[in-house]
Chains A and B, each alone.
Chain A
Amino acid sequence: MRKWFAFLSILTLIFVFAACGNSNSTSSNGQEGSPDSSDSGSSKTTISGELHFYTSQPDEDAQRLVQAFNEKYPDVKVYTFRSGTEEVIAKIKAEQEGGNIQADVLLVADAVTFESLKNENLLLSYRSKEADQIPEKFVDGDGMYTGTKVMATVLAYNTNKVKNAPDSWLALTESGSKGNSIMPSPFYSGAAAYNLGIFVRQETFGWDFYKKLKGNEMAVAQGNGAVLKSVASGEKSYGVIVDYLAARAKKEGSPMELVYPKEGVPVITEPIAIMKGTKNEEAAKAFVDFVLSEEGQKLAAELGYTPIRKGVEAPEGLKTIDEMKVIDADINELYQAREEDKTKFGEIFGKQQ
């Protein structure tokens, strides 16, 4: 019996040591990487070391970005972590709680999320020289984060179900779409919470718009992915959805079409920022510069996104930033009011039974 305890303990110990032994090398490397900046004086052109890149971009896009960056900076070893925006932020907060944020560079969905990190003093101020070519409203005034592309939230519809293309958000409040439209829930999707903040701060819409949506039996789903499936399959006819997902599905052949309503569209910009505790500031800065550079922006367009930099063409099927009518609001205000907005939304869309 006690032998079992002994056996158990030894096995577990072996497991612990095996795990430690295996990874000690990588972790110590990471720590030694910190005095990088002092080396840089001697060899200015070579940027090297490790870079931990946390992102919510689709995996393939993140890989392409890192590949392109590595062509220019082959000595930087980039470790990518990809997950949903909410998951990435939760991970960073947990790392903070654990006492050591691993991420060097962060690229997730919306500016309000970055505003929250900025308020918690987690970001490093860095105004890239490339930021001059980017519309001022997408660059944080303190240089904490910079938008990298433009993703508009648009109105998508199933072409088998809807014959007359809508041109206004108000189509969602009309009888034709009653019980037939769907949008992501602000409780589960940061991008949806951002849109909520924008819409209620527009004169044309306000909270009244959401009350009418509720009255018109608007359905709420977990995220953009769920909206895409619902509209593509025809379960619902209309969906509020981020443009690149709808454009991609349409290109693949799904029976859907997207419109940029005439009142304007809220846009999220997938900003990029450097974490304050970065161990490789030089590589992090080079990475940010690259993403915002003409080359980086052309890559974004190639991957199917509207670039944010002036003078770079948008991919087929999407509008460029100049062609869009953007509706927006003060980012800090959106950040401050986020929880309150969600609560109000909850009150309109019904407390749970």
Chain B
Amino acid sequence: MYPEKSQSEGMTGKSASFSLSFSFSGLWKMIGFLLIILFFVLPVFRLIIISMTEEDAFTLSHYSDVFRDIETWITVKNTLFIVFGSTVVSLILGIAMAWIIAYVNIKRKKWMQLFIFLPFIIPSYITTIAWVQFFSSSGPAAAILNLVPGEWPAPNLYSMGGIIFVLGLSHYPLVYLMTVNVLKKIPPELAQAAQTSGGRKTLIFRKIIFPLALPGVASGGLLAFLSNLDNFGIPAFLGIPANIRVLSTYIYEQVIGFGPSAFAKAAVLSVLLGMIALTGTFLQWLLLKRSRVIETVKNDDKPRVHLPKAKRRCVEGIVWVFLLFTSFVPLLSMGATSLIKAYGLPFKPENLSLKNYQYLLFSDPKAISAVSNSLKLAVLTVSLSLILGTALAYIRYKQPNRWTKAIEMFVTVPYALPGTVFALCIIFAWMQPLPGWNPGVYGTIWIVMLAYFTRFLVLQVRGSYTALTQVDSTMEEAARISGATAVVKWRKILLPLLLPGIIGGALLVFLTALTELTVSSLLWSAGSETIGVVIFNYEQAGFTTYSTAFSCLIVLAILIGGLAFIVLEKFWLRKVMKQNDPA
């Protein structure tokens, strides 16, 4: 089943095997491309138009105004610094975690995996507050530092470093998820061979593992980069008191500003931000050029680095301490706040009660209906993205030409724009997509669905694409030569091999859609409130204890769902793999 060798052209694989049975294929291609333009380009295009018009006439004056303002360049510089720094943090943590989970013989990996996702699920305002409390002058960090000899002031989170730290921690799960399956797919024989020939471990990692893992690292890095770029909550909370602006917060300032040019200025800055996002995509393409596929293997879950018991315990300890800090600290602070009667009271028995939970579960029907709305939206978004995203990834992978590259760029930008701007774009675009055509989605739950789909599709595309780069084209050729139809080819060969990667992407889409806040807060309509909207509403009304309790319930539900998922995945993989494995 596994070919011995393969051509190194797997990436640029023009040797694809398709059956060209459709005579109108050119037409279909056109329609497909136009639909992508309609969904992904039109909203952004309206934004660009706004940035170039004044009273219905073409002008570049908004650009010259913005570019002449020194504030713009300071903001861009801060943004680049913060985004670059936090992406590096995410990359280091994500790759290290992925390597340990994929290769080292430590125990309870599934549990670790579950906790790795927590920083990604817990709303960023909770994570941020938890870290601020942790590092505050009366917090645990200061207490620990006091024990250490010498003068060690607790680090100030209201700073560039603080923003980088919290952003990097919040988004490393993206890198982890994209990398871990790729690492598992690297044939263990390779490293073993190198080791027998006397290669040192660091050399093996640099020369063999890393180049092979590049598709995953690049995808994860790009997603982390985009997430750091569009994030508003963390730089707003930590940056405003420190007088640090990044593009996302600066754009928000413009959007809420008065005067006719406020929107136009925001649009110009959004275009600038879009450019930065596209630069990230280009960098990722450059990286991918250096990656290789050697041969196709299914995931190999067996540990490859066998540590002696003492060392293993040590590594396990380090991982758990890390997870304890990054996941449990926010979780605990969240849990503690949710049990307190009123915000600000000390955590003592007499101040604790379950009244917040009682209110959510029995008094406010909104909470329950929001969960059901968000679940429906997330499931629909995932189903659509799963099919369309994987199809797009497949087309992009099989035909790496100008058109498919353009498509990749088109689906990337909606994810990179700050949520507020993206939601506004969706409104411009879908009230009247084409002159005279009002599809009537605006003001219904469908607009939220459409926004989620447009915004999060890239997560699925990246997940599926990364998985595809691990399957080289000989697999498909073999299928074709043996006379397999397209359906059989996918069901029996491609899907089982791609599944972990595709599921990884779908998981990201699902979790992001489930807890999305900013976009929904502008697009929801009565009866379609989502989890994010309800949390936002509680927060704004001053009910922090309710919003935290609600977040707790959501995270708990996701954890339980995660456990169920682990069990199901095990079961499914065992079954599918058995069916497909002749051996």
Contact = CB atoms under 8 A, between A and B. Distances in A.
Contact of B241 (A80, A221, A232): A221
Interface string A177-203: 000001001011010000000000000
A2 B135 CA distance: 56
A154 to B, nearest CB: 14
Contacts of B573: none
A249 B78 CA distance: 36
B441 interface: yes
Contact of A352 (B243, B439, B441): B243
Interface string B23-60: 00100110110010001000000100010000000000
B503 interface: no
B470 interface: no
A8 B258 contact: no
B441 A245 contact: no
Contacts of A102: 442-443
A206 to B, nearest CB: 22
A185 B74 CA distance: 19
A87 B387 CA distance: 33
B153 interface: no
Interface residues of B, number: 90
Given A229-B343, A339-B257, A81 B525 contact: yes
Contacts of B245: 352
Interface stretch (B13-21, B162-170, B209-217, B304-312): B13-21
Interface stretch (B94-102, B106-114, B534-542): B534-542
B22 A3 contact: yes
A12 interface: yes
Interface string B67-111: 000010011001000000000000000000000000000000000
Contacts of A7: 391
Interface string B131-171: 01100100000000000000000000000000000000000
Most buried by A among B35, B424, B526: B526
A255 B348 CA distance: 14
B541 A79 contact: no
B35 A58 contact: no
B18 A1 contact: yes
Contact of A2 (B18, B257, B442, B545): B18
Given A22-B446, A97-B428, A256-B344, A90 B441 contact: no
B25 A2 contact: yes
Contacts of A89: 256
Contacts of B255: 86, 90
B129 A229 contact: yes
A9 interface: yes
Interface in B242-269: 243-245, 249, 252-253, 255-260, 263
B342 A249 contact: yes
B393 to A, nearest CB: 11
B388 interface: yes
A4 B258 contact: no
A19 B439 contact: yes
Interface residues of A, number: 86
B345 A350 contact: no
A219 B75 contact: no
B480 interface: no
Nearest to A336: B258
B237 interface: yes
Contacts of B398: 1
B243 A351 contact: yes
Main secondary structure of the interface of A (DSSP, over half): helix
Interface in A334-353: 335, 338-339, 342, 349-353
Interface string A25-63: 011100000000000000000000000100010111100
B39 A58 contact: no
Contacts of B317: none
B388 A12 contact: yes
B441 to A, nearest CB: 5
A97 B343 CA distance: 41
A20 B441 contact: yes
A215 interface: no
Contacts of B324: none
A98 B431 contact: yes
Given A2-B28, A20-B441, A220-B240, A93 B343 contact: no
Given A90-B522, A229-B129, A353-B244, A339 B259 contact: yes
B410 to A, nearest CB: 14
B263 to A, nearest CB: 6
Most buried by A among B50, B256, B438: B256
Given A9-B32, A249-B344, A253-B342, A352 B75 contact: yes
Contact of B394 (A4, A26, A90): A4
Given A79-B526, A158-B344, A225-B540, A4 B443 contact: no
Interface string B294-330: 0000000000000000000000000000000000000
Contacts of A338: 258
Contact of A82 (B133, B440, B537): B537
B35 A12 contact: yes
B236 interface: yes
A352 B74 contact: yes
Given A3-B486, A98-B432, A353-B244, A23 B391 contact: no
B405 interface: no
A128 interface: no
A1 B399 contact: yes
Given A98-B432, A249-B343, A226 B237 contact: yes
A323 interface: no
Given A219-B241, A351-B71, A351-B243, A2 B343 contact: no
Interface string A1-17: 11111111101110110
Given A2-B25, A188-B256, A221-B241, A254 B399 contact: no
A198 B426 CA distance: 36
Interface string A141-178: 00000000000000000100000000000000000000
A147 to B, nearest CB: 20
B541 A60 contact: yes
A87 B521 contact: yes
B240 A13 contact: no
B440 A24 contact: yes
Nearest to A342: B257
29 contacts: A1-B395, A2-B25, A4-B395, A5-B28, A6-B32, A8-B391, A9-B28, A13-B35, A19-B449, A23-B444, A23-B446, A81-B524, A82-B537, A83-B522, A90-B424, A90-B522, A98-B427, A100-B432, A102-B443, A187-B253, A220-B241, A225-B539, A225-B540, A229-B544, A232-B342, A232-B343, A335-B258, A342-B257, A353-B74
Given A23-B443, A248-B542, 15 more contacts: A8-B32, A11-B384, A13-B35, A20-B440, A59-B366, A86-B252, A90-B522, A97-B263, A100-B432, A188-B253, A221-B240, A225-B540, A228-B542, A235-B132, A256-B344
Q: Which A-B residue pairs are the 5 nearest by beta carbons?
A: A232-B344, A98-B431, A58-B541, A2-B25, A1-B18
